[in-house]
Amino acid sequence: MKNILILLVCSLLLANCSNRYVLGTKCTSPDKATGAYEKSFIWSVDKTMSDESFGKRISKNNCPKLAKKS
C-alpha cells in the first residue's frame, strides 16, 4: 500500500511538472444561472498564469458562507 501511494504521488508530480499547486480551500465564482461553483483544497495552476489573475477567478471569498450549526 505504501509503495502504491509513493508511485501515485510521483506520477502526479512528474505528469504536472509544468504546473504549480495552490493549497487552501478556494472556490470559483458561482454561475449566475444555476448557482453552481467549484470548490477544492488543491488547485493545479499553469505557471504562465499570474497570481493576480488566479486570485480574480478563484478565491476564498467566492466560497458560499454557511450558517453555523447551533
Read off the pLDDT of residues 30-65 as tens digits, 9 standing for 90 and up: 888 998 889 988 888 888 888 888 888 888 988 887
What band does 14 get if pLDDT is binned at 50, 70 and 90?
Answer: low
Q: What are the extents of the domains in the chain?
A: 18-62
CA neighbor of 59 nearest in space, from 34, 22, 32, 21: 22
